[in-house]
Structure formats: C-alpha cells, structure tokens
Amino acid sequence: MPRNQRFDVLFEPVQIGPVTAPNRFYQVPHASGMTNALPHVRARFRGVKAEGGWGVVCTGAVSIHPSSDDSPLPFAMLWDDKDIAAHALMTEEVHRHGALAGVELWHGGACTLNRTSRIAPISPSGMPWLSTHLGFMGNLKPRSMDATDLRDLVKWQAAGARRAMQAGFDIVYVYAGMGYLPYEFLLPEYNHRTDAYGGSIENRVRLVRELLEATRDAVGHKCAVALRISLEELRGRPGRNAPSEAHEVITLLADAPDLFDVKMDSSPTDCAPSRFAPEASHEPVIDFVKKLTEKPVVGVGRFTSPDVMVSQIKRGILDLIGGARPSIADPFLPRKIAEGREHEIRECIGCNICISSWHDGVPVRCTQNPTAGEEWRSNWHPEVFAPPASDSSILVVGGGPAGLDCAVTLARRGYAVTLADAAGEFGGRLRFERRLPGLAAWGRVVDWRLGQLRERANVNLYPGSELAPDDVLGLEHRHVVIATGARWTKMQFSTLEFPVGELDGPGVYTPDDIAAGVVPPGPVIVFDFDNYYLAGVIAEHLGRLSSEVAYVTTAGNASAWTYMTNELPLVHRALGKAGVPIHTLQRVAGFDGECVTLADVYSGAEKRLACRSLIVVGIRKPNDSLYHALAARPKDLDRAGIAGLSRIGDCFAPGAIVHAVHGGHRFAREFEAKAGEAPYTRDYPV
C-alpha cells in the first residue's frame, strides 16, 4: 500500500553534524542486557531494527573505564582495543540496512559501585547516589575527584570515542543523564566543588563541555557528537537569567554537540509505565530545547502513533522521533508506516517487562514482541516465518495471550488454524485486566493479535465455544493445543514462606471472582503475596469505588516486584490517592467473616482489622483438566486423527503475560520444525 502522505515528514533525512540520518526514526540508546559477552545476540537485536526502518540505531550504555562498572547489572564496554570487534559486529549489521549506528559512551560515577573492578567509585564531591532501588544500593561510598581524575575522565572519553570510531559508529555520545557522572556535576546537591567545576551554572557545565570537545577532537569530522542530557530536575530550578537552569544549560551548550538527546532524570519518569503516564509524557519538560539551539533534537515518549509523531515535528518539539520501547515492541514500526501499514504496528503496551529484564541481568524480553532478544540465538525474525511443514490443521483451545500468539504465529507460518474460546470475546485474563485502572493499553496484546487473525483466510475464530473433551475429539484437527489458562487459588502463606493450604469459606474471594463481576461487601481487604501488579490494581480499583478497602502484603512494599518495572513508587502513590491504607510485612493469620487477624511476618505480633471480604491474590494453578481428560484417552485421540496434544501458557506453567505470549510463540515456531539438541544457540565473546 502507498504511504499516507500525512506521514511524509517522518521520512525526511536529517543532517546530524557530518552524518545524515535517512529518516526521523531514531532508536535512542536503551538497555538491552546484552554485554560484550553476547556480541552476536546484540548485533542482530539492533540490526533487525535497522532492517525495520529505524534510521539511527544506538547501543545501550557503553562503559569507558573499569571505574564505571555496573555489575551485577549487565553493561557493555569499550575499555580497550580488544572490545572493538564485539561492537563492530553491531555497526556492520546496522549499516547493512542503511541506518546510522550510535554509541552511548558512559561513566556512571557515584551510581556505579564497581563491584567487580573494586575501584573506589568517583564523584564530584564524594556524595553517594541515594538509591531507593534495592538493585542499586551498596555500601561503598564514592570519593571526590581531584584535578588528575578530571583530566583522566576526559582522556577516557576521548579514548572511548576513538575506539567507537574504529568500531564503525557514526554518532558518539556524551552522557549527562540519569544520575551518572557528568549529570552529578550539573546538580549542586552532588557537586559541592569550589574549583572551576562547581558553583555557578557555567562552572557546573564545564565538565560536560570538555567531554564534548574531547569527543569531537577524537572523532574529527567522521562522526557526529551527541549530548544526552536529563532535564527534569534542572527544569524545576529557576535560573538566574532564564526561566530555569535547564534553559541555562542548553543555552550554554547550544553549539557544542551536533545533536541533543533530551530525557527525564529517573527511570520511573523517563521510562514511565503506561499505567501512570500517557504517550508523549516528556513534552512539558523538554519542549523548550529546540527554541534555544539550531542543532537537531531527539526525545522519547513511548511514541507509537504516527500522528503524534508528526505533531511533535510540526509543532517544533522534536526533529527526530526517539524510540526505545516502541522499537522493542515492533522493530518494523517505521517500515509499516512507510508501506501504508500503520494499522499493523504492534504497539508497546508500556508494561516495562523490558526494563525488568535489565534489572534481572538478562537479555531483553518483551510482552508484545516475543522475538526480542531471540533474533540470533533462536533465529526468530519478527516478520519472517518458516513455511508450514505439512498441511496439518491445528485447533487452539483458549484465546488468552498464549492461545492468541500461538494462533497468530501458526497462521503467519501458513497453517490452517482454528481458535476457540468459551467466552464471548477473546482475550483471556486481559478481558478483565484491561478494564482495571491504568491497564487499558495492555489490551493491545489482544487487539493486535485479533486484528492479525481476522485478516487471514487460513483462520477460523470461534468465540463463545466452551469445548469439552468430546467436542475436541469431534472437530477433526490434526493437532490440538490447549491454552485454557490458570485460576487463582485461596492458598495461604506461612511465616516460613510455605504455602499452607487454602482458606475457604464465606467472604473469601480471588481475582477470578472480581473478574466474574462479584462486588465484595466492605470492609474489603486485598491480601497480596503474588507481589506483581494485580493485587495493587484491584485494591486501587475497589478503593476508588468505596472507602472501606485496605491492602495487605507479606512483602515490604505494595506490589513489591514492580520495583523491577519502575511502577512501585507510582503504585504507592495511586493507592494513597485512592484512599487505600497499605499494611506491609503482614500475613493473614485468621478470618472469621467479621475481622481478619494479621500477623507480622518477622515478630508474629498480631492485629485485627474489620473485614467482611478477603480477596486473596497469591498462587495460581493451571486450568488443565481438559488437557488431562484428553491425554487420558490415547485411543480416542488416535481414532479422531489427532496426532499431537500440547498445552501452552498458563495452562502449562502460570506466569505473567510475557511468559504466556512467549510460550505460545515458541510452540508455533517449533511446531513440526526440526528440533536441535540445545534450546538455543549459545553466543561467545569475540
């Protein structure tokens, strides 16, 4: 299909110093969990985005010196010449598709605790980075940099830039954001210096300017020099001669880099979850930058709508549309717009599972795009599928995230697929969850897959079809895949973190009851030891409807695992706003229909709270009775011509939506394919 002319502006080339971006789609630096030990995984992950039309594709943070050692978090490095070859693999892949390759050179300063290198962390004035995130906490405090340290830092940046150029990068960054070293110099709370690098705003930007100049000297006219800078905190501080210190910093540096890459300061605001922030949420902080510089400006905001992108350009907010998560969720987003297929964009849902992978220390995973991180090691291309190995037809029972992805991937391979679900609409757990506060965008998991399925002639969709074993046997499909999900149990939790049996009886509910429309009489207590989002969001939902809702957890925070997805501080704020009190480190020791007895998980001290409805959000069990009923009848399966019976998603192993999608996808990719001995190809350092 021809491209919609409305979007032509997105495909204009943009001059960035000595290099030219072929279009305005710019994959900004983002964490991928792919270290120099995974060079082929990393190269293909980035290369596929170039193939998908991103005009610029950058690395994640690349350390310039062992004094910037983020371990155990995964990070890349250009510490010496031996690191060049690993990065050259990536620039080759990116250049093969006509895109520019950018590298985010990085020194973490007081943020990095150098757990492996054991070098004392460096900082402007010996102030530690005050982290509330467990993964970033440590006991080694930084030392103050002296004049030699400052000269060394500039030399390391220059050496990193030269190596980056040798590796084939076109855009080389100075990174002054997110708490890292040059950013620490910008803020007086971290910079108490009385020399030429502290005090006035002119002095505080001096180091950033020197790093930019050293980078330019190192790369000459071969590469562009980019400045990545966080502006949220500075924008909130009145300037002496300008509305804010952010205005002053940009004015002082207006001509220094070839490109400004502007962003927020903390992970929860920068990589804001969709539950709490809309698309383009950075605009109020970064909207002034283009007015103060002639240089091109790139920024992010979970942009997935081409109309919003065009508006950012036409209104003079940005020159280049930055994408991190949207480029993970759909590496082919630009190509789809270019080919008039924008309705096919698989939009990021803003769940931040990708960030959680970095916190977990593993290569990136994505709820929407199960091929992310698997491009090289599993040979999964996001848009290319192996043809069918036979004319088998497949029945998928259950149209939740697992069944939907399995069906759509089998259909894209060319198999004849029938998808049935007991409910009147597809979506599984998301039928309910997408209606909860802030989770509407998560419905994109269902909408994209259903959209794809409805367009295909080799697909039959049967909503409203609850299938019993005899129904399945009578349907004459060659393979049957059971994706019937999981159910929440009323299992309880002991102080030793043992599951200690179910607490049943009147007034005890699970999320499945709330999903089925039960309105629990108050006072309501939501008891959480699942620790991901669901208990918190149900408490928020019920708390908005009634003043008699409290949230109880065995963990130290509400929705404790969401610190992995940047949501945790915002969950606390949301519960506070909904008037829901939070009781942490408590387990339910008893419930008599009038009161619940809570016991402190450490001391055992008990307290009682009025409660008529107790919603237990803890453990899930597979809905696998259909699977087992069929598996117990091998002769009947044989007679019905069913050669294979499988189960996927929550029906196999209950997990988050990302696991269900991946499980469904994996089944479809591997179906009738020649199985290797290893589950994936192992990568090795070069």
- Residue 481 in contact with ligand ADP, rule: CB under 6 A: no
Cis, peptide link before residue 72, omega less than 30° from 0: yes
Q: How many CB atoms lie within 10 A of CB 577?
A: 11
What is the nearest approach in angstroms of ligand SF4 to the Cβ of residue 603?
Answer: 38
From the list 33-41, 324-332, 471-479, 669-677, the region that binds ligand SF4 by CB under 6 A is 324-332
- Residue 373 in contact with ligand SF4, rule: CB under 6 A: no
452, interface contact from ligand ADP, ligand SF4, none, CB < 5-8 Å by kind: none
Which residues lie across from 614 on neighbouring strands?
A: 508, 525
Helix, strand, coil shares, percent, the chain, to 5: 35, 20, 45
Q: What is the dihedral of CA 302, 306, 307, 312, to 10 degrees?
A: 60
From the list 74-82, 322-330, 412-420, 497-505, the region that binds ligand SF4 by CB under 6 A is 322-330
From the list 316-324, 507-515, 593-601, 647-655, the region that binds ligand ADP by CB under 6 A is 647-655
- Residue 349 in contact with ligand SF4, rule: CB under 6 A: yes
Q: Report the residue number, 367 or 554, with the smaller CB distance to ligand ADP.
A: 367
Q: Report the residue number, 14 or 395, with the smaller CB distance to ligand ADP.
A: 395
- Residue 352 in contact with ligand SF4, rule: CB under 6 A: yes
Q: Report the residue from 100, 186, 318, 483 that binds ligand ADP according to the rule CB under 6 A.
A: 483
Q: Report the residue from 50, 90, 354, 404 that binds ligand SF4 according to the rule CB under 6 A.
A: 354
Pairing of strands 586-591, 459-462: unpaired
Contact by Cβ (8 Å): 615, 541: no
Cα–Cα dist 232/269, whole Å: 9
Q: Report the residue from 68, 114, 157, 367 that binds ligand SF4 according to the rule CB under 6 A.
A: 367
Among candidate residues 180, 509, 532, 551, the one labeled active-site is 180
Contact by Cβ (8 Å): 571, 543: no
Q: Name the phi and psi angles at 649, rounded to 5.
A: 65, -145
Tokens of 52: 């998908």
350, interface contact from ligand SF4, ligand ADP, none, CB < 5-8 Å by kind: ligand SF4
Amino acid making up residue 166 = Q
From the list 93-101, 133-141, 364-372, 622-630, the region that binds ligand SF4 by CB under 6 A is 364-372
Q: Considering only CA atoms, which of 311, 309, 303, 299 is closest in space to residue 329? A: 303
- Residue 417 in contact with ligand SF4, rule: CB under 6 A: no
- Residue 420 in contact with ligand ADP, rule: CB under 6 A: yes
What is the nearest approach in angstroms of ligand ADP to the Cβ of residue 449?
Answer: 11
Q: How far apart are the first and last CA of the chain?
A: 42
Q: Report the residue from 58, 366, 416, 453 that binds ligand SF4 according to the rule CB under 6 A.
A: 366
Alpha carbon separation from 316 to 286, 313, 321, 556 (Å, rounded)? 11, 5, 12, 45
180 is catalytic: yes
- Residue 626 in contact with ligand ADP, rule: CB under 6 A: yes
From the list 216-224, 304-312, 419-427, 500-508, the region that binds ligand ADP by CB under 6 A is 419-427
Q: What is the dihedral of CA 209, 213, 214, 215, to 10 degrees?
A: 100
What is the nearest approach in angstroms of ligand SF4 to the Cβ of residue 352?
Answer: 5
Alpha carbon separation from 672 to 387, 398, 427, 479, 667 (Å, rounded)? 10, 21, 26, 11, 10
Q: Report the residue from 353, 396, 397, 619 that binds ligand SF4 according to the rule CB under 6 A.
A: 353
Q: Report the residue from 328, 537, 549, 601 that binds ligand SF4 according to the rule CB under 6 A.
A: 328
What is the nearest approach in angstroms of ligand SF4 to the Cβ of residue 124?
Answer: 33
* Burial tier of 234 (Cβ tally within 10 Å: 0-12, 13-18, 19+): buried
What is the nearest approach in angstroms of ligand SF4 to the Cβ of residue 46?
Answer: 15
Q: How many residues bind ligand ADP (CB under 6 A)?
A: 25
Q: Considering only CA atoms, which of 417, 375, 397, 445 is closest in space to residue 668? A: 417
- Residue 461 in contact with ligand ADP, rule: CB under 6 A: no
Q: Report the residue from 248, 342, 528, 650 that binds ligand ADP according to the rule CB under 6 A.
A: 650
Q: Report the residue number, 267 or 418, with the smaller CB distance to ligand ADP.
A: 418
Q: Report the residue from 273, 400, 438, 507 that binds ligand ADP according to the rule CB under 6 A.
A: 400
What is the nearest approach in angstroms of ligand SF4 to the Cβ of residue 325?
Answer: 4
Contact by Cβ (8 Å): 302, 273: no
What is the nearest approach in angstroms of ligand SF4 to the Cβ of residue 353?
Answer: 4
Contact by Cβ (8 Å): 665, 381: no
CA atoms within 13 A on the CB side of 132: 11
Pairing of strands 416-420, 459-462: parallel
At 587 the three-state DSSP class reads: strand
338, interface contact from ligand SF4, ligand ADP, none, CB < 5-8 Å by kind: none
Q: Report the residue number, 425 or 497, with the smaller CB distance to ligand ADP.
A: 425
Listing DSSP states for 120-134 in one string gives: PPEESSSPPP---SG
What is the nearest approach in angstroms of ligand ADP to the Cβ of residue 462?
Answer: 9
Q: Residue numbers of the site for ligand ADP (CB under 6 A)?
A: 397-403, 420-423, 428-429, 466-467, 483-486, 623, 626, 649-651, 660
What are the catalytic residues? 180
Q: Residue numbers of the site for ligand SF4 (CB under 6 A)?
A: 325, 328-329, 348-354, 366-368
